[in-house]
Structures are given as structure tokens and as C-alpha cells.
């Protein structure tokens, strides 16, 4: 193993329940991203903010945003990842889409809907993890509240990965948990852990302080920010392989069966 994966973390404010305006805003941000990036990561519900009124969003907006992601992935020759409000078969989902430069698309529906905000009442929960193979790395993307559930995010023998990615709308009052759990997920899984949060106020007055970050397999902070900007980080396969061979903690991990 000797490859690298250069990622861009877009830490941005979001325009409330306005997909077309958010796509236009992100046009400028993505256009300015370095051309040597392999993966662009956007926040949770990047086209609307964390809305609990998905019926206010036209059902067609989900596919419009996926088409938009495909267009940018092709133009920038990079993969793009982020979650959106997605309507399918009469149900709403908090769906994360991973779009490759060639247009191939994979989807993960948020497993742990945020009951504190009533997300479970308006969005259908997902039931399966997504493990992606991209440029020699195995990626496991998840969404916000999933971060609090270590068994779900566990790097198992059956569903092994190199990079764990969380996209979020994580508010300021609980940001200490975000910082701590991102680092913990990296350490316990001996994987890079990437967290992309939004910034600014949403339409309900909740404040989001950023704290987007990347941690290496030992929990060392590689990248971090509390302001509106695009962060960059280079993930290295040699680091993963060297540390896992030197510290064989994963060989002693428990196997989990989720019912």
C-alpha cells in the first residue's frame, strides 16, 4: 500500500430549506477547490439545512441535487459526498450520496434518526451500512447522530474500512461530544475519521460552530477548523498499514451481530 487520498472538507453555512440557492452557493465553493483533490465532502442536508419539514421540499429536488453532484464530479474529476433530503416511494429519507467522477452513485440512508428533534417521525431510517472502495481506500460514510453509536460504526472483519466519514449538522451546545467521539471512533477502529459539520445559524435559530476535522488512526488531529472555509487533508495508506502492523489491536476486536 502506498497511495494517498486528498480530501476537501467544505465547512459552510446553509440556506434554510432552499435547495436551488444552496446549489448555487456551493457552485462557487466547489469551483475554487484545488484540482488535485480526490474527494469533496459536504455537510449533512447540505441543500436545505437540518429540516424536520421535508414535505416543504419539492420531491424533485433530491434528484436535481444528485444530478448537480454528478455534474460537478465530472467537471472536477473528483468524487463528491454529502447528504440531502430525498423523497422516494412516498417516504422521505436523510440520504447520503457518494458520486464518482464517472457518474456512478451509491447511497446510504441514515440509520440513527435523531429522535430528540423528531427526525424519526418524518424520515425513514436506513438499515444497512455502506462500504465503498475508491482509489485503493475503503470508505465508510455515515450521518451525524450515527456518531454516537460505536457498534454501528465498528470496523469489523466482515465490513472492514480504512476511512470513517461523518457528515453533520451538529449544534454548538453538544460540540464537545462531536470532538470527543470523532477522535474516539478513529482510535478504536484504527482508521482515519473525517467529520464535516456546518457553520452558522439555521432557520430555527440553532447555532453550528463547525469543528470539522480529520483524525489519523491513532487519534492525532490532522485538520481542524471553526470558521467557514474548505479544509484539506491527505490520507495515507502507508500510515494505516504501518500502524496496524505495529499495533495489532484490531486482531483482538469482538465480532458483533446486529439484530
- From CA 172, how far away is CA 259, in angstroms rounded? 33
Q: Is 144 a catalytic residue?
A: yes
Residue in the structure block whose three cell numbers are 466482515: 158
DSSP for 37-95 reads -SEEE--TTTTT-S-S-GGGS-THHHHHHHHHHHHHHHHHTSEEEEEEEEEETTEEEEE
Q: Is 251 a catalytic residue?
A: no
- From CA 42, how far away is CA 174, in angstroms rounded? 20
Query: Which residue in 44, 61, 100, 119 is the catalytic one?
Result: 44
Query: Which residue in 110, 129, 140, 193 is the catalytic one?
Result: 110
Query: Which residue in 100, 140, 144, 193 is the catalytic one?
Result: 144
Helix (H) or strand (E) holding 204: none
Rg of the chain over Cα atoms, rounded to whole angstroms, equals 17
Q: At what angle do helices 60-76 and 19-31 cross, to 10 degrees?
A: 10
Q: Is 172 a catalytic residue?
A: no
Q: Helix (H, G, I), strand (E, B), or coil: what is residue 18?
A: coil
Active site residues: 44, 110, 144
Amino acid at each position: 500500500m502506498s497511495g494517498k487520498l486528498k480530501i476537501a472538507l467544505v465547512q459552510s453555512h446553509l440556506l434554510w430549506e432552499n435547495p436551488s440557492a444552496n446549489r448555487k452557493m456551493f457552485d462557487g465553493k466547489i469551483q475554487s477547490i484545488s484540482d488535485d483533490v480526490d474527494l469533496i465532502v459536504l455537510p449533512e442536508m447540505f441543500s436545505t439545512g437540518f429540516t424536520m419539514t421535508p414535505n416543504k421540499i419539492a420531491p424533485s429536488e433530491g434528484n436535481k441535487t444528485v444530478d448537480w453532484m454528478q455534474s460537478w464530479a465530472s467537471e472536477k474529476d473528483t468524487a463528491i459526498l454529502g447528504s440531502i433530503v430525498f423523497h422516494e416511494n412516498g417516504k422521505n429519507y436523510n440520504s447520503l450520496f457518494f458520486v464518482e467522477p464517472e457518474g456512478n452513485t451509491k447511497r446510504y440512508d441514515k440509520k440513527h434518526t435523531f429522535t430528540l428533534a423528531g427526525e424519526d417521525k418524518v424520515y425513514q431510517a436506513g438499515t444497512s451500512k455502506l462500504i465503498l472502495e475508491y482509489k485503493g481506500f475503503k470508505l465508510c460514510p455515515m450521518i451525524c447522530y450515527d456518531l454516537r453509536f460505536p457498534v454501528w460504526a465498528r470496523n469489523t472483519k466482515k465490513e472492514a474500512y480504512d476511512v470513517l466519514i461523518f457528515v453533520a449538522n451538529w449544534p454548538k451546545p453538544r460540540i464537545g461530544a462531536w470532538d470527543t467521539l470523532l477522535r474516539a471512533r478513529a482510535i478504536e477502529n484504527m482508521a482515519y475519521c473525517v467529520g464535516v459539520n456546518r457553520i452558522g445559524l439555521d432557520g430555527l435559530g440553532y447555532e453550528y460552530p463547525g469543528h470539522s476535522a480529520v483524525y489519523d488512526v491513532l487519534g492525532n488531529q490532522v485538520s481542524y477548523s471553526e470558521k467557514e472555509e474548505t479544509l484539506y487533508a491527505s490520507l495515507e495508506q502507508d500510515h494505516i498499514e504501518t500502524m496496524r502492523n505495529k499495533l495489532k489491536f484490531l486482531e483482538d476486536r469482538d465480532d458483533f451481530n446486529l439484530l
